[in-house]
Structure 1
């Protein structure tokens, strides 16, 4: 298995709050994405390169109730919590033969779609974020052109993703087993409560953290 960084995930109580947060931090507007019928969610997007992007995702109030726990821990998100960079996703071309050892951490493979796009992605059965969001979900796209290439270029690019976790060696071992390559750094923090992700993004106004 070979993996590389695919996209960053901002979770928010509403799509409008998440898009406003990103726009205030980066100085650019996000593009409409679409709806995920299986999960009852919707998103907005920002291109970070030809093969990477940022996603703001929230529960879609107009959707039918999901018949399973929603992804990215959205079911447990308080209504008044501020938007935050909560997770990241790594892409691979061999997800259909996922090692059971990885599945214990990142979840089982689930077919997904949004409009004309389709993909397979790993999701834990209870919807939790893998290792508090520090470990990536894995994705395999079902079309040859990466979705990021279809987005408008707003002049933003990901420079680095810093991951803070009380057991960075566990994350490092997992990424090594996945043959991961990409702009990711691991740091130790004091507790699970202090776990966080920080991205450094080049924007038309200079470097910004998110």
Structure 2
């Protein structure tokens, strides 16, 4: 019922997030856009297998959104790092009935893109923000199809948390993706990436 859609790297500024990804992978990110409802902006990187990577940060030029920002960005501090994984569904209501911790559905638009994102009221996802965020695209063309090929491919996404077994139990009925591995450990994400420069790791 859900499938891996993209991964997100957050930074104290968008420049920091972009620089971190570009240095780690050795490829340039492409233009993204602004999210007025949440006061954030992003840059993007197309990956193989209809996935993409998003570098995201609070937009200092945007007015305060009057609500908690998604991905827990109101509480973000420290160096840029891989912070979130996002899964897509074709039936947001049905999935939220199974995964209510993902939040409330929020309709969004930017340019030709239309989508609904589930966002918790406080902006923070369960399991220390490591529960997958949920997205439902309303436009026929997925963003990954509009991005230039980067030569990068996600090999494995490791989700570590002290309660990884509990998270796995929650996700097992709705997510089947051998690239996603959940294991006990300190909270964090690690992505193994194939790149034009060999295997690189984001964490």
Report TM bin, short chain: over 0.9
179-188 vs 63-72, which moves further = 179-188
Structure 1 CA distance, aligned partners of 2:125 and 2:90?
22
| TM-score, normalisation: structure 1 | 0.92
Which residue of structure 2 lines up, in the alignment, with residue 24 of structure 1?
23
Aligned partners of 1:18 and 1:56 also within 8 Å: yes
Superposition pairs of residues 35-114 of structure 1, within 5 angstroms: 35-78=34-77, 81-103=78-100, 105-114=101-110
In the alignment, does 2:133 pair up with 1:137? yes
Matches within 5 A, 1:160-175: 160-175=156-171
Is 1:205 aligned to 2:197, yes or no? yes
For the aligned residue pairs, the C-alpha RMSD in angstroms reads 1.3
Compared with structure 1, are the counterparts of its residues 187 and 98 closer, same or farther at alpha carbon in structure 2 (3 Å cutoff)?
Answer: closer
Aligned length: 202
Q: Any conservation in 1 of the 2:151–2:196 contact (CA below 8 Å)?
A: yes
Alpha-carbon shift at residue 87 of structure 1 (Å)? 0.8
Q: Distance in 1 between matches of 2:46 and 2:105?
A: 25
CA contact (8 A) 1:31 1:44 kept: yes
Residue 155 (str. 1) matches residue 151 (str. 2): yes
Quote the Cα distance in structure 1 between the aligned partners of 2:25 and 2:87: 23
Using the alignment, how far apart are the partners of 1:18 and 1:164 within structure 2? Answer: 21
TM-score by length of 2: 0.95
1:2-54 alpha-carbon deviations (Å, 9 max, x no partner): 11100001111100000000011000110110000100100000111252111
Superposed CA deviations along residues 93-139 of structure 1, whole A, max 9, x for unmatched, are 11133443411x21111111222211011110001133223210111
Q: Which runs of 5+ in 2 are unaligned?
A: none
1:123 partnered with 2:119? yes
1:180 partner SS: coil
5+ unaligned residues in a row in structure 1: which ranges?
Answer: none
